[in-house]
Structure 1
Amino acid sequence: MTNDNNTRKKANAVFFSAIMVLSMVAIGFAAMPAAAAGNDHGDFTYDPSNPWQGEDVTTEDLGSTDGQQFQLRRVTGTDDGQVSSSAFIEDVSAGTDGEVTIDTEDLDAGDYFISGGDSSNIVLNRTPMQGDTFEIRIQDLDADFDDDEVADAGGDSTTDLEIDSNRGTYTLNVSADGDLDDEELFGIFAPDEDYDDASTDDNRTAVGDTPNELFGPFDAFLYETDEEDADEKIGLYQINDREEEVDFDGIDDGDYEFLFEVDDTAAEDTAEITVRDVADAELEFVDSTVSTAQGGVTSVTIAANDAADEGTLVIGEEDDFGYQLNVTIDDFNDDDEITVYFNTYTAGTSSSGEVEAHGDVIWVDEDDLDEDAGISVDEEVTDDLEFILSTGDYDMSVLAEIGDFEETVENPDDVGSLLIEDRETNELNVWTASDDTVDDIDDVEDVLAGAGAGNITERDLVAQDDWAIHQLDATGLEGMFQYIETNDGVELTDLIDSQAGQSLFEEKNSDRAARIRLRETRDSAGPNTARRVVDLTTNDVEVITTPGEDGVFVAINTDDWNDENTAFTSGSNPEALDDEEDYEFNMNFRVEDEWLLEWDSEDDDDLDDLFEEIDSTYDVEERTGEFAEDPYNVTATEDVELTAMTNIAPGSEVNMRVRSSGDTRPSFIMTESDLEVTQNEDVTGTFDFSDTNTGDTFDLSVRSGGFPEQPEADGNVVDAVEEETETPEETETPEETEEPETEEPETEEPETEEPETEEPETEEPTDDDTPGFGAVVALVALIAAALLATRRRP
């Protein structure tokens, strides 16, 4: 029994020893492959290492065998830079080159790696370092048209296309679901380029290749004809974020959906737009007839329909009118219109060398220029007129085509009429305004608006330091003054100063175009005394005109007349005005221009005989003012209005001050600032006297109006009841109403005696028995005295 036990124990020991040896051998075999593959992740790389979703990723230097299976796994956790957990995505296998290629189109953003393999070749573990993985990035793409709808022709056929992405550069394929072929797509994205140039064999490009030439603002190119859908798509090569214009001119009307696809990623976007059909391109005159006086400037406005974005304008016609101007309209404003100004004074003179590049004959309105409207003058067919453009009715023609002016005259879209009428020289009117008002004047419309608002007043009086605005009520002068204003080499004073000697056109014979003379009158200067003549070269002079508007205003600032002797010419009395004296001046305007006056040396003896003259005389007075009342009695209430009268220009701003005087306690001071003088030649301030007391006195003054002597007045705060002292005037009405009652009794004899007995009673207030008091008043006084005596007793 004992031997059996020993034998069993020995057998068990041998058995367990054998099991242990076999287990160690098995463990060794199992551990050997893992130990060998532990560092293999660092022996190869992924290309690209951070691909955009949709790009293929390929291993480099993996060194596997064809068909060897691996797992594509997504990192779900890391620990100290090493992958600690991951998720299975799909099986992948090595190709014939021993490398694994991974399609990322369906992969989400994140880090990925491959693992697995077999012991016969390569085995990759599931815990690589994070640097041995590759990252999938998602490309965003947005493509949007600026407008939902465009026209199939004309200025409205264009819109902007904006393309944005979080990727730096990329190539796009553009298609429209087969509704547009590659030529139409090319015309949209490269409207100014030639499709035939882009479609040559040298310029068509295979997918993935670099194009030889790019076209348009989106770097467009065409694919080789054997590429899939090459006739229904175009490429935009390596573009970045941009917003550029596309043009649907010539595209059939309808709804289109454009597909924008990045060529190497899954990014794509769509953009929808509607193309509408429009009528044939056409232009028309907004006003079929425009007119101006000979020598004036007229405005011509032309409108384009949706299909038109350019055209031609012809003014006159050489054979019928002896004058013709050919103009190309390059573009219209945002409202598909353009306004041009035509100067009948300079028309037909472009060959003289005095008018540069026709810009003084015709030009575009400034507001339209700001909206990119523009013209170019092809030719002034008649450019050497001997006289100013004649009066008459001239044809104007427009056509929505460029280049053929003969066609514009013979087959225009629309015909208008330019009526040039006889000039008139009527009168000279004088207005006045403050410095602040004149600062806001840019054109004739501003003057008229100021007159409507009451800030510019027509009158025969101008206060010293204010502006005198002289209205030249004469037509046909705008062209001359417009030419002066737009030519830096021609000074206004050279043409209008009394000492001037420069003519508008060198080949003309007159000394000057016009004369303006502002001179003191003989009555003002006195006998045997030189009269003051305003020097237009040293004073602030503004000539106010508006193209297309009749009327010229010459504004002169009198601010320097009373403090500088340079205000007047040296040939006259140069002494400055005394700011406390009044003067009288005469403004004289005379047209002397032979061009305007149509002087013919063969038919007219002297040019002087044709001169046209207008003038006006007005006073230049001391700046004065006075209060409507002195003393000014007010009550202790709110909103008390105090008014002063003044001769300074309406719109002038002054301050009015109220300050307590005498023994008034508590003292007070109130100021109303920036009060405007009205066209009624007064200014009113509103003050709060509610905190004052009856009997208070104050001083009232107008300040900061440039007065040599400050307008002042005394003031008193009186009892509000004092205002009712005028009520006796109202009591006269009842007395008058009683008169008919006294007449009625006269018709009835029995009752006539009663009113007669009342007559002595009505006379009692005028009774002289008690001077200054009536009987009742005397009685009341006695009672009051008795009460006072009683009150004073101890």
Structure 2
Amino acid sequence: MASKPTRRTATIAVAVLLAVAPSTIAVSGSAAIVGESGTALQVADDTVPYTDLDEGLFWQGQRLAVTGLDPGERYELRRITGSDSSAFAVARGSDANGTLTLSTETLDGRYFLRGPGITAEREQVFEVVEQDFRARWSTRSVGAGRSADLELLSNRGSYTVAVSAGGLQFEDLERIFDEDDFADSYDDRERDDEILLDVANDEPLRARFTDIDPDTYTFQAEVVDTNVTATATVSVGLSRADVEFERTVVTEQQGDVALVNVSIDNAETAYLVVGDHDSNFLDVVEVTDGSGDGRVSVRLNTRYMGLDPSDPGVPSDIRPYRAVANRDSADALRRSDDLASGETLGELRSGIGVSGGLDAPLDATDYPIVAASTTDIRRSGNRLNIRDDRDEAALTLGSPRLRRIESRAASAGAAGSGGVATFRALPRDGTIALGDRVVVAVEVSGVYGHLLTEHDGGIEGVVENDAEGINLTVEQADGSANREPIEFDLDGPGTALALDERENILFAAIDTERVRTTRELEAGQVYEATFTLTGVDEDVERYSVKRTQPSHTGYPYLAPGGEETLTTSFEFVDREASFRDSDEGLTAQPVAGVELTGTTNLAPGSTLLVRTRTTTGRTITQTTTATVTDEGTWATRHDFSGAEVGQRFEASVRDTGGTLATVEGEIVPATTPTPTPAEPTPTATATPTATPTATATPTPTQSATETPIPTAMPATTTNADGPGPGPLVAVVTILAAALWASRRAARADDRE
């Protein structure tokens, strides 16, 4: 009797030519068996129990290595054809180590092994599936420097591909694709000009075609462990960039910042050629649409255009051109930069008769701007020949002006709170309540480029800035006997500068509670705010921005020795508020919506607290807020419908600093509306005939008309027996109307 064969456990490993990443099947040690989500395969370092094969999924083209079999024995791989049937697929012999290697290139279906040492058939069944694989680009053509997606579509979850393209070297591929998609050993096929990339769940591979020669490229992607391939073709840089200006004429003053909006299509980068021979100025600016929205907004700082930061004495942080959006960019080419035409920018400037870099700001004239897709800029005599020009515009610079200065009052708070939008709406005001803010508004142009670049819009840019010839001071108009006038420290706490470039107004906001002064501020003091522009010294022929030369001191847009000054004055007063029509006390009817009004010298926008509290009878306390208008008035409404006739009340108004006014009042009877007689209907008289006819006079119809009471504003009301909150300030006005008697008398006169 034959002995019963001993049941043995075989092991299987999946092997490929390229090892890239560990398997995702749960195995011991570092064995690398790949399941459905595996990206690469390697020969196992440890054995894998044969039982782990059950329901395993492998991809056609992978190699399977079965270990732990009897050495030198013959084994069959059988394909399952039915519930109780199978068919022979392939037979292989194990090597001297008991390892059996199988190719899956022709396999497709469910399989199991049969042979010595394997007694339980069909228990460990695995499947081999053909990998579907397609490739396409997200666009057929892409501009030079622009991005596109290589989309790889498969029925497989994740895997590694080797990507190549005729005409592109490994360094090109490395620059094109995102390093986040690189496989661990992405450069293993560098010699073959192939880059290894990981793909997962059909996520596209992002490609940016920077510094790639214009051409049509066919990209091939090969799955490294199954050898399936797919191709996709894209044209790079063959469709020229389409560049357009939003406005063809941009007008600005010397020294300010001009905004130029450019749309870019079919490319990521375009070029602005600013100036020509006639303007004796030439800059080439590279603009990049880093955000990918097809639009770049460029700020041209006319104060520093034409300056080269590499020149000795020029501040190194100066940027004449800046993109508004953070991901976009705008950078001026330097004299030594090469153009696509084959010469440098410096050579091009000399060739058309434009002198070197500027020492002084641009003059007031017209500067043409040409949008181009490349820097293929040549010269024909002293004229520019821009080969790839797309659109034209012009920058028109006018002379700056100092027009006016005035003081405005802003509500109490941090010096810069509210900003331009708030300060722009404030009316002119020559009286400032102590505790409010003083806002000095100066309408001036030609200063914003300097303030934004070298001072970031800070107030120090207009405080004793001799280097630029700008000076703002605030000091007492007349000092007291034997004492110097009080001066404001505008470069300290409690001050802020807000720039309104659109309207050419700068706002110096001063918090009178925090600003440093040489002595204490008091009511009745009059102050003068003075804004001055001072040119360079009379013996200096031309301003220079270079710090190595003394002639840089002064405002560059005035003649040497010139000066312009504007002054405004304002007076400090104590904070006050009052009730309207309250000289003999207030009266209020026992109704809802009683309007309380008054006046105050606080700045527009200030908030007042209005409080009323009955002082006799049942206690009724209410508190509301009121906002000061531009006319210095305020109004709110309180509900007295719960009060009784004859009750006394107290009304007060206050701000955060304390009570400003308090008045007494009394609840009086409500006015009863009186019906107003309707106008009588005119008498109709019949036309006489041969037989007289009596005239019929209809009886007049009366109708009662009541005077409506305005709708009450909401108020916070509390009824309590005890005392209410602390004293608050208020103003009151009683609504009532009934003039029907006089109107009736007037109608009687008319009938007579």
Normalising by the residue count of structure 1, what TM-score does the alignment of the two structures yield?
Answer: 0.63
Q: Which stretches in structure 1 are left out of the alignment for 5+ residues?
A: 1-27, 77-85, 175-180, 195-208, 223-234, 505-512, 562-566, 569-573, 743-794
Letter paired with 1:434: S
**Selected match of 1:391 from 337, 359, 364:** 364
Q: Judging changes above 3 Å, is the alpha-carbon distance between structure 1 residues 42 and 419 closer, same or farther for their aligned structure 2 residues?
A: closer
Q: Which residue does the alignment assign to 2:554? A: none
**Selected match of 1:60 from 27, 49, 67:** 67
Q: Judging changes above 3 Å, is the alpha-carbon distance between structure 1 residues 547 and 639 closer, same or farther for their aligned structure 2 residues?
A: same
Corresponding residue SS for 1:668: strand
Q: Which residue does the alignment assign to 2:206? A: 245
Matched-pair contact (CA < 8 Å) for 2:302–2:320:
no
The equivalences for 1:463-542 within 5 A come to 463-486=433-456, 493=460, 496-497=463-464, 502-504=466-468, 513-522=469-478, 525=479, 530-542=484-496
**Selected match of 1:378 from 331, 334, 338:** 334
Give the deviation of 1:657 after TM superposition: 2.5
The equivalences for 1:765-780 within 5 A come to none
Separation (CA, whole Å) in 1 of partners of 2:288 and 2:539: 36
More helix by percentage: 1
Separation (CA, whole Å) in 2 of partners of 1:300 and 1:61: 74
Q: Which has more radius of gyration?
A: 1
Q: Which residue does the alignment assign to 1:232? A: none
Give the deviation of 1:57 after TM superposition: 3.0
Give the deviation of 1:616 after TM superposition: 1.1
Separation (CA, whole Å) in 2 of partners of 1:44 and 1:347: 75
**Selected match of 1:577 from 521, 527, 548:** 521
Separation (CA, whole Å) in 2 of partners of 1:137 and 1:439: 72
Q: Judging changes above 3 Å, is the alpha-carbon distance between structure 1 residues 102 and 419 closer, same or farther for their aligned structure 2 residues?
A: closer
**Selected match of 1:300 from 245, 254, 260:** 260
Q: Deviations over 1:741-760 (max 9, x none)?
A: 33xxxxxxxxxxxxxxxxxx
CA RMSD, 1 decimal: 4.8
The equivalences for 1:552-563 within 5 A come to 552-560=506-514
Percent of aligned pairs sharing the same letter: 16
Q: Which stretches in structure 2 are left out of the alignment for 5+ residues?
A: 15-32, 34-47, 178-184, 336-345, 350-354, 544-550, 552-557, 675-734
Separation (CA, whole Å) in 1 of partners of 2:481 and 2:541: 38
Q: Judging changes above 3 Å, is the alpha-carbon distance between structure 1 residues 140 and 645 closer, same or farther for their aligned structure 2 residues?
A: farther
Q: Is residue 2:268 matched to residue 1:309?
A: yes
Q: Which residue does the alignment assign to 1:738? A: 748
**Selected match of 2:300 from 342, 357, 371:** 342
**Selected match of 1:643 from 597, 603, 612:** 597
The equivalences for 1:755-770 within 5 A come to none
Q: Which residue does the alignment assign to 1:183? A: 166
Give the deviation of 1:541 after TM superposition: 2.4
Matched-pair contact (CA < 8 Å) for 2:216–2:233:
no
Q: Which residue does the alignment assign to 1:628? A: 580
Give the deviation of 1:162 after TM superposition: 8.3
Give the deviation of 1:392 after TM superposition: 1.8
Give the deviation of 1:378 after TM superposition: 1.9
Q: Which residue does the alignment assign to 2:373? A: 400
Separation (CA, whole Å) in 1 of partners of 2:609 and 2:154: 60
Q: Which residue does the alignment assign to 2:693? A: none
The equivalences for 1:117-516 within 5 A come to 117=115, 122=116, 124-126=118-120, 133=124, 149=139, 151-153=141-143, 158-159=148-149, 170-172=159-161, 182-183=165-166, 190=173, 192=175, 212-214=188-190, 221-222=193-194, 236=196, 244-246=205-207, 262-264=223-225, 280-304=240-264, 306-317=265-276, 319-331=277-289, 333-347=291-305, 350=308, 353-357=312-316, 360=318, 362-366=320-324, 368=325, 370-379=326-335, 385=358, 387-402=360-375, 404=377, 409-411=384-386, 412-435=389-412, 439-441=416-418, 447=420, 449-450=421-422, 454=425, 456-486=426-456, 493=460, 496-497=463-464, 502-504=466-468, 513-516=469-472
Give the deviation of 1:362 after TM superposition: 1.2
Q: Deviations over 1:495-531 (max 9, x none)?
A: 633xx7x524xxxxxxxx1222212223xx4566532
Matched-pair contact (CA < 8 Å) for 1:53–1:107:
no
**Selected match of 2:640 from 668, 689, 693:** 689
Q: Judging changes above 3 Å, is the alpha-carbon distance between structure 1 residues 715 and 595 closer, same or farther for their aligned structure 2 residues?
A: farther
Matched-pair contact (CA < 8 Å) for 1:140–1:267:
yes
Give the deviation of 1:731 after TM superposition: 0.9
Letter paired with 1:38: T
Q: Is residue 2:708 matched to residue 1:719?
A: no
Separation (CA, whole Å) in 2 of partners of 1:387 and 1:376: 18
Separation (CA, whole Å) in 2 of partners of 1:600 and 1:335: 43
Give the deviation of 1:587 after TM superposition: 1.0
Q: Which residue does the alignment assign to 2:729? A: none
Q: Judging changes above 3 Å, is the alpha-carbon distance between structure 1 residues 480 and 151 closer, same or farther for their aligned structure 2 residues?
A: same
Corresponding residue SS for 2:739: helix
Letter paired with 1:689: F
Give the deviation of 1:210 after TM superposition: 9.6
Separation (CA, whole Å) in 2 of partners of 1:632 and 1:405: 85
Letter paired with 2:661: P
Q: Deviations over 1:705-736 (max 9, x none)?
A: 435x4233334333322687976633112112
Q: Judging changes above 3 Å, is the alpha-carbon distance between structure 1 residues 655 and 136 closer, same or farther for their aligned structure 2 residues?
A: farther
**Selected match of 1:669 from 621, 636, 645:** 621
Give the deviation of 1:339 after TM superposition: 2.5
Give the deviation of 1:279 after TM superposition: 5.3
Separation (CA, whole Å) in 2 of partners of 1:610 and 1:386: 20
Q: Deviations over 1:408-427 (max 9, x none)?
A: 93224333322222232221
Corresponding residue SS for 1:409: strand
Separation (CA, whole Å) in 1 of partners of 2:302 and 2:157: 60
Give the deviation of 1:59 after TM superposition: 2.8
The equivalences for 1:90-101 within 5 A come to 90-97=87-94, 99=100, 101=102
Give the deviation of 1:310 after TM superposition: 1.8
